Structure 1
Amino acid sequence: MVACQHSTVSRALVASAVASVIALSGCGIVRDITGTREEYPLAEEVAEETTHEEGDPREEPAEVDFPYTREGQIFQDTGQDATLRFSVTGLERTDEYTVLYYENTYVDHFEGIVTNLSMPNTLVDPVSGQAFWEYTDEEGYYYGSVAPTPDGYPVEVGATNRYRRYFPRLPDEIKQVTFVGSGLGAMTGIPVVDVEEEQPDPVDPNGAEMIDHGPEPGEIVEFENLRPEPGAQEWVGEMESFVDSDVASTTRDGDTETVALKADVMFDFDSAELTDEAEEVVRQAARSLENNIDPDDPEITVIGHTDGRGDDDYNQDLSEERAETVREVLEEELGEGYGFTVEGRGASELIAREGGSDDEEARARNRRVEFAYRVDRSDEGLTSGRGEDLLGSSERHVFPPAKFVADDTAEVVATATDGDVRLDVHPLRRDGAYVISTVTLTNTGDEPVLPDMGGEDAVNPGGPTEFSQGALGGFQLLEPDTDLVRYVTLMNFGGETYSGFADEVHEMQPGNTYQLVAVFAAPPVEVRELTLRAGPFGEIEDVPFGK
């Protein structure tokens, strides 16, 4: 049998996937790996285990113990959903690049040319928020294990395929990463091992021999390897988070933070004068900016926006006046040492779609004054607890990377149903600057079903449309005590090349259970429970963090 692995044609054609921005519904599969080492060198000094309440986020992992294995059902494009055993058997950093080694074993039925529908293989540094895709050539083909046929790789139930893939060289300070791409959730705590040379190519690759008859159960299948060539395309992106409140929202994209003060709170109708309530909001915004800004680049851009109603000239003038008012108060609060640029953009940059059933909320979202600046990404800029006198949406809380867990679904903390689909909610997990929400969906009926995870119930009225990517993109985490709402994080690879860090849901087969994840910006350490807004399943209160 032959399997198309993650749009695998020869070296896995991904040009179309990159151009269309991994919508998380395309062929994003575990792509495949080679040779396992019996031993990996530990760091000279193995750090003590850290808790999520304290400790250096960049400490060495307590142990290096490959392989890291998960098993579960995954979506296939033919509907013949199969149980996959997936193992990361190595992650090596050389002077040139990072090499991922992994194995696939299909445990049950697997027929014909099928594709695992999951996120593309991605390495994420949960502390800095950097994300790394695989190297591609100019035509968009992946480097690494070479498929012996244009259709993909030979696969048989019970046989193990070994693969390797190449990623940009991870920065030296990264000790552990979170891997996504297997279709089995987020695999946290995968250690990075520094080596002088990567593992040698397979001595006797036998993948081409399996095209006609397929491998036997228990057989190991290996493929020829192609290393990145000069001019290989690097894909390094940033996690982009969005946290919302009644008075302000904060978007953090890599080293840039944008705070949007909601104009309806800040100004009366047709006015550029701050309301009494706005004085306190701007003061908190100034303290947050002072806390987060890069001291080596203290430049602030203030931009006013209106909704889509009204004359263009009127909107332009009003947006400029409001931006200037906010600049004056920020400058007064911050004192000397900061540079300001002020702009008005009228209704030219709407972030919520107007004219729908939530038109009033959307227009209110679009009426805003934003200020943007570069953030401090040094250790001094990392926090875990809630700061005093800061704008809640602008707090960034960073913890050590989560440890590897073989099964994120062992504990069920809540259950909800929508028709024949049962949603089981599992404990939240802190992972660096993020929190992972893991859920499982089960088709309890007798027929295949495609759950409707979207619709008006999935997103807050007037919510920003770009933060609803993926079927779980409409999920949100609500902090009840502060009313802060955390939207699903994006992986932004520049321009239009981004996607929601949330799984897509495909047609579910009767009796099958599927594991899915959505990733959000982390709340402070004192927050022990959050409310999960789960689209058609409603609000699920008191979802705890796991130990």
Structure 2
Amino acid sequence: MTARALATTCAATACAATALSLLLTSCGIIPGLGGGDAPAEDPAPSAAPDAAAAHRELPLTRQGRMFIDGGGDVLLEITFRKLQHNGEYLMIEVDHDLLEPLRASGTSTDRTAPIRLLDPVTGEVLRAIKDPGTGLSLGTYFTEGSDVTPVHQGIPTTFRRYFPAPSHDAGHLTFTGSGLGHVPGLPVEYVDEFTPSPEPNIHDYFNEYAEKTADELPGELFYPEEVPEPGLDASAFRQGIESFVDTAESSTTRSGDRETISLHADRMFDVNADEPTAEAAETIRRTALTLRENPGPGEITVVGHTDGSGSDAHNRELSLRRAEAVRDLLAEELGEDFTLTAEGRGSEEPVAEEGGEDDEQARARNRRVEFVFTVPDTAAGAGGEGLDSAARHVAAPAVFFEDLEPVATAEHGDVELNVYPLVRDGAYLFQMVGFGNSTLSDLEADLGAGEEVAGGPDRVTEGTLGGFRLLEPDGPTRYVVRLVTEDGYEDFADEVLTLSPGDEYLALAVFPAPGPDVASMTLHAGAFGEIPDVPIR
């Protein structure tokens, strides 16, 4: 049976408890609390990481809470033992150990997110490879053709999963999922061949062992595995990240190596006019600085957009004239090293829905001029006197840490929110928050975070932290990044499931990083309001 690394539903009984695959899902949301060797002394949460802080070697251990639908969530300890790269695939080997009794009547949930390995420098996201024939994840399994794997309480269980290799060589990757939140700094070992897995010692004896107690089970349990064949097309298991940063002057969307800078037209043109204002000249000068500082954009498409008022023909003509006017000004600033083309798309591609309560704001957002180009996905760039929204900040991968202390708390109804320090990891900020239930019964958290913002992402997934935002004083607003999938988009933010009393549930949201001089930010946490001065670790 191949255990799935995606959403799983199974019974938790005395014979076959719950899915081992829960280890490799983001089913539980509870903070990682220590375990493993003592770390080197970490900087204070409010301080930037020590430049000399050393990455740690495997094995590394974290704890999280496994979500069991119907109650009885259990504490889970996860030890990362191997992360190997053979030139074509990644192999991760982990130990899974339940630290609390598993309630027999519970069942797991099928609403969980898959685990992810992230290259935080390039933003490439890797997911566990599935067999193209069965749709089950490759790696350790128990009974072929089934997605239920036994859990042996009190006995660590070792198993493996396989991922496509990252497109760029990476020394350290970040793990998310399994209720651990953010696990950075996992070192990648480059090998010619993967370390052979231990020989199975329980495959033919499950029925016998299932009737035994944990004390009677052997000290080590190993299972057979299915290794991906060389040459397997694993491209479907790579995902890109789309980010969105907004200011009053401009917004910038990045999706892989494609970048779109959008200038708000109301600051550049009078109503129905195509002659740039005096203010537009300064904005275009700063845009030119940004484009020069971004390596690679030799070809730039300037695209004009209008709102939905007026006829289609009028809108297309006006948007083209505006794009041509901006292109000509930009050409004067950039010189001959760039190729500029102009297009007018009228009201065909709105970024905000018109006709609602915020109609005026939505229409203003749709009136814009965009610059579309490509840049290397590892590149830093922009900043200084360029556009604030387009500054690309790429730091080194973060080091592994044991735990974090909350820096603020908030309440909404019967739900308490612990806010942990932001962690800078490569090109992103990772925000972990802990949810607590102050009642004596299970409840659903009202995040109040799914409201749409005119001009912001309009695809926030209900029940996740996708509507959270990070704010800089008098600076850009940073939205939760989104994963580009075969079916569209999904938030790179955890879903918040049913909260049981007495436990804290950790949830994670990922944002594009600000400049290195930014030491703290304000977290807009939906129904919990704004939490100021959240430090960046």
Q: Structure 2 length as normaliser, TM-score?
A: 0.85
SS for the counterpart of 2:205 is: helix
Q: Is the 8 A contact 2:7 2:109 kept in 1?
A: yes
Does the C-alpha gap of structure 1 residues 155 and 117 become closer, same or farther in structure 2, counting only changes over 3 Å? farther
Aligned match of 1:70:
62
Q: Kindly provide the amino acid, as one letter, of the partner of residue 241 in structure 2.
A: M
Aligned match of 2:313:
313
Q: 1:528 aligns with which of 506, 519, 530?
A: 519
SS for the counterpart of 1:83 is: strand
Matched, 1:227 2:227: yes
Cα distance, 1:509 vs. partner?
Answer: 0.9
Aligned match of 2:186:
190
Task: Give the superposed CA RMSD.
Answer: 2.8
Cα distance, 1:82 vs. partner?
Answer: 1.9
CA–CA separation in structure 2 for the residues paired with 1:232 and 1:174? 21
Cα distance, 1:539 vs. partner?
Answer: 0.6
CA–CA separation in structure 2 for the residues paired with 1:428 and 1:9? 33
Cα distance, 1:90 vs. partner?
Answer: 0.9
SS for the counterpart of 1:119 is: coil
CA–CA separation in structure 2 for the residues paired with 1:354 and 1:221? 59
Aligned match of 2:282:
280
Aligned match of 1:132:
126
CA shift digits 1:201-245 (9 cap, x unpaired): 331242563364377257433221001134343322222211100
SS for the counterpart of 2:158 is: strand
SS for the counterpart of 2:281 is: helix
Aligned match of 2:82:
90
Q: 1:397 aligns with which of 393, 403, 418?
A: 393
CA shift digits 1:97-130 (9 cap, x unpaired): 1101112222224235424754312111111111
Does the C-alpha gap of structure 1 residues 77 and 329 become closer, same or farther in structure 2, counting only changes over 3 Å? farther
Aligned ranges for residues 416-427 of structure 1 at < 5 Å? Answer: 416-427=410-421
Cα distance, 1:333 vs. partner?
Answer: 0.9
Segments of 5+ residues of structure 2 without an aligned counterpart are 11-23, 29-42
Does the C-alpha gap of structure 1 residues 116 and 67 become closer, same or farther in structure 2, counting only changes over 3 Å? farther
Q: 2:255 aligns with which of 253, 256, 265?
A: 253
Q: Is the 8 A contact 2:459 2:489 kept in 1?
A: no
Q: 1:487 aligns with which of 479, 492, 498?
A: 479
User: Which deviates more from structure 2 when the two are superposed, residues 140-149 or residues 343-352?
Assistant: 140-149
CA shift digits 1:294-348 (9 cap, x unpaired): 1xx5000111122233322222112212211211111111011211222122222
User: Which deviates more from structure 2 when the two are superposed, residues 76-85 or residues 524-533?
Assistant: 76-85
SS for the counterpart of 2:214 is: coil
Q: Kindly provide the amino acid, as one letter, of the partner of residue 467 in structure 2.
A: G
Q: 1:471 aligns with which of 464, 469, 490?
A: 464
Residue correspondences, number: 496
User: Which deviates more from structure 2 when the two are superposed, residues 115-124 or residues 249-258?
Assistant: 115-124
Q: 1:451 aligns with which of 435, 445, 450?
A: 445
Does the C-alpha gap of structure 1 residues 329 and 431 become closer, same or farther in structure 2, counting only changes over 3 Å? same
CA–CA separation in structure 2 for the residues paired with 1:504 and 1:536? 15
Q: Is the 8 A contact 1:118 1:182 kept in 2?
A: no
Does the C-alpha gap of structure 1 residues 497 and 191 become closer, same or farther in structure 2, counting only changes over 3 Å? farther
Q: Kindly provide the amino acid, as one letter, of the partner of residue 173 in structure 2.
A: V
CA–CA separation in structure 2 for the residues paired with 1:106 and 1:475? 32
Q: Kindly provide the amino acid, as one letter, of the partner of residue 429 in structure 1.
A: V
Aligned ranges for residues 336-485 of structure 1 at < 5 Å? Answer: 336-377=336-377, 381-382=379-380, 387-408=383-404, 411-454=405-448, 458-466=451-459, 471-480=464-473, 482-485=474-477
Q: Kindly provide the amino acid, as one letter, of the partner of residue 345 in structure 2.
A: R
Segments of 5+ residues of structure 1 without an aligned counterpart are 11-25, 31-48
Q: Is the 8 A contact 2:419 2:432 kept in 1?
A: yes
Q: Kindly provide the amino acid, as one letter, of the partner of residue 414 in structure 1.
A: A
Q: Kindly provide the amino acid, as one letter, of the partner of residue 511 in structure 2.
A: F
Aligned match of 2:13:
none
Aligned ranges for residues 74-153 of structure 1 at < 5 Å? Answer: 74-110=66-102, 111=104, 113-115=107-109, 118-139=112-133, 140-148=135-143, 150-153=146-149
Matched, 1:322 2:316: no
CA–CA separation in structure 2 for the residues paired with 1:468 and 1:287? 36
Matched, 1:505 2:496: yes
CA shift digits 1:50-108 (9 cap, x unpaired): x96897xxx9x945422221113243334432211122111001133110111222222
Q: Is the 8 A contact 2:67 2:108 kept in 1?
A: no
User: Which deviates more from structure 2 when the two are superposed, residues 240-249 or residues 94-103?
Assistant: 94-103
Does the C-alpha gap of structure 1 residues 374 and 423 become closer, same or farther in structure 2, counting only changes over 3 Å? same
Cα distance, 1:449 vs. partner?
Answer: 1.2
